[in-house]
Amino acid sequence: MKVDGRPMRTIWLDADGWGVDVIDQRWLPHEFRIVTLRTLAEAATAIRDMWVRGAPLIGVTAAYGVALAMRENPSDAHLDQAWATLHETRPTAINLRWALDAARARLRPLPPAARAAAAYAQAAEIAEEDVDINRAIGRNGLAIIRAIAARKAPGEPVNILTHCNAGWLATVDYGTATAPIYLAGEEGVPVHVFVDETRPRNQGASLTAWELLHNRTPSTLIVDNAGGHLMQHGRIDMVIVGTDRTTARGDVCNKIGTYLKALAARDNGVPFYVALPSPTIDWTVNDGVKEIPIEERSAEEVDFVQGLGADGKVSRVRVSPEGGRAANPAFDVTPARLVTGLITERGVAEASADGLRALFPERG
């Protein structure tokens, strides 16, 4: 996507040919900062402290983290160390484990001297694959948007609600939930996006709203609790969200608050779609509520909000009484029965074991 007219991705090789450049998303939308990761430890910190975030981008950053580790020391022991260090950074997004398992499987049989180059090549492949997947999700999702647009008065926009940031900043490019929206814009299908602010870290307000503004996609920021009201008044035509892990039977784990939107959508007959790249499917689990580990993040994220002060500086302010207790589960699970369809790179699947298996028969 473009930032101020300049084509950008979220992760790329530095001019030195080995450092890994990323957009430090903690400062958006107020400051656009790029940082270079040069060690395994820095890659792990970037994921854990959410300089980069979003399931697909976490996976790609982890793959580059392994490459940085192999440059430091290509031994078997350090490969295992890299896997463990990166794996413990964020527990819910399955793309992390998927990328790490793929890296270890490819690198282990190679002589140590060949591992760093192979790891960089593999990370680049995973990044390219992410872009291709997202474009395909965009095409498949666009067909749904077009069908809704066809039922509306000519020129009237399709109103789409989204939660958190499943945009290009959460991936390498295009995003998952935003890919159909960006394609709709390119193809002249009028869309308007309602953006949930997504407390506590405000990925909607800080990242999705910023992306859409830069892309000139019409959007309106709303507080997390407004979605149900808008649905009751017929102001939302469809919901599209991303996912951090979807189970083999179609239960969808995504940013906290997604489940409440799915309940409101069901109650109001609003279609609820999930944009799902296949590396985000965890074929080893079925019951998302019972089996997916939910990341518990620091209570500080609930107690404080970050923003731009009157002095023009980014700072934090406390919103809760000092000494009180806060809890911060970062994700929730929307059961498959509440999901209208899973928009994958291979087509739109029914959210069920049969639906997913029909599109991915190699998974048996």
Strand segments (E) across 6-100: 6-7, 11-13, 20-23, 34-37
DSSP 8-state assignment for residue 232: H
Burial of 353 (0-12, 13-18, 19+ CB in 10 A): middle
171 interacts with ligand MRU by CB under 6 A: yes
Q: Does 244 qualify as catalytic in the annotation?
A: yes
Query: Distance (Å, rounded) from C-alpha 224 to C-alpha 184?
Result: 25
Binding-site string for ligand MRU from residue 75 to residue 114, where x marks contact by CB under 6 A and - marks none: ------------------x---------------------
Q: Please identify, using beta-carbon distances, which residue of 79 and 215 lies nearer to ligand MRU.
A: 215
Among 237, 244, 282, 332, contact with ligand MRU (rule: CB under 6 A): 244
Among 44, 67, 79, 166, contact with ligand MRU (rule: CB under 6 A): 166
55 interacts with ligand MRU by CB under 6 A: yes
Binding-site string for ligand MRU from residue 321 to residue 340, where x marks contact by CB under 6 A and - marks none: ---------x----------
- Catalytic residue, chosen from 130, 244, 251, 303, is 244
Residue sitting closest to ligand MRU (CB): 242
Q: Please identify, using beta-carbon distances, which residue of 137 and 158 lies nearer to ligand MRU.
A: 137
Nearest residue to 239 (alpha-carbon basis) of 269, 213, 209, 214: 269
Nearest approach in angstroms of CB 233 to ligand MRU is 25
Query: Distance (Å, rounded) from C-alpha 24 to C-alpha 26?
Result: 6
Q: Would you put residue 347 in left (φ > 0), alpha (ψ -120 to 50) or beta?
A: left
Question: Kindly report the CA angle at 251 between 246 and 256, in degrees rounded to 5?
Answer: 80
The residues that touch ligand MRU, with contacts defined as CB under 6 A, are: 53-56, 93, 164, 166, 170-171, 176, 203, 242-244, 254-255, 330
Catalytic residues: 244
